[in-house]
Amino acid sequence: MTSILDKKTFFVKEHVGYFKAANAYDCLDPQGGELITQVQESIPNFFVKMMKFTSYKKMMPFTVEFKDKAGNVFMRLKRPFTFFRSRVSLEDANGTPVGSFQQKLLSLGGKFEVFDAANQPVGMLTGDWKGWDFSFKNSQEQVLAKVTKKWAGLGKELFTSADNYIVNLERDDLDEKTKKLIAGAAICIDMVLKEQGR
């Protein structure tokens, strides 16, 4: 089934709604607007749901599922209860680790160190201080992907919310695990930094 892992560029559109505890996103093909992946946060219990409406939401655990067009889960983002720095893990549909993202403290635009399944550092996700522009770099400092709100190829009507953005792979030779890390990183940015009011 087609998913964001088959695309070099995809558009992430957050579901808008007041008083919603769970985040949800549609990932679209920017060429025709076709839905290719749905991303949905699941709330484990009533307590966590209620805490999502308080200032403690930035500490709450979350699980986010990525589903292909047929509704099949192909990966998950998970974060346990946290105090200061978020550590978000990424796993495939079977629960096998793919990698993780460790938030760095005191960074102006937001920064996450990226680890592989063996917990070895493989790159960095770095934002600028001006806005929602992030670069996903490997350990050799090569840019593998960009997450941005500035995209010349799309009409302004798509950008109706501040939480819509484009993910663009900068290379054609990326393996599936790297593509999963990039897709997971794009949602991780929104889930973690938005909770912190960035």
* Tally of structural domains, the chain: 1
Question: Rounded CA gap, 136 and 169, in Å?
Answer: 9
Looking at residue 187, which CATH number applies to its domain? Answer: 2.40.160.200
Averaged pLDDT for residues 92-107: 89
Report whether 112 contacts 101 (CB < 8 A). yes
Query: Coil, strand, or helix at residue 135?
Result: strand
Confidence grade of residue 161 (pLDDT, cut at 50, 70, 90): very low
How far apart are alpha carbons 165 and 50 in whole angstroms? 28
Its domain, for residue 49, covers 4-195
For the entire predicted model, the pTM comes to: 0.83
pLDDT above 70 coverage of the chain, percent: 74
Interatomic CA distance for residues 97 and 77, integer angstroms: 10
Query: What's the pLDDT tens digit per position in 120-135?
Result: 999 999 987 666 689 9
pLDDT at 36: 92
Q: Which residues pair with 65 in a beta bridge?
A: 40, 76
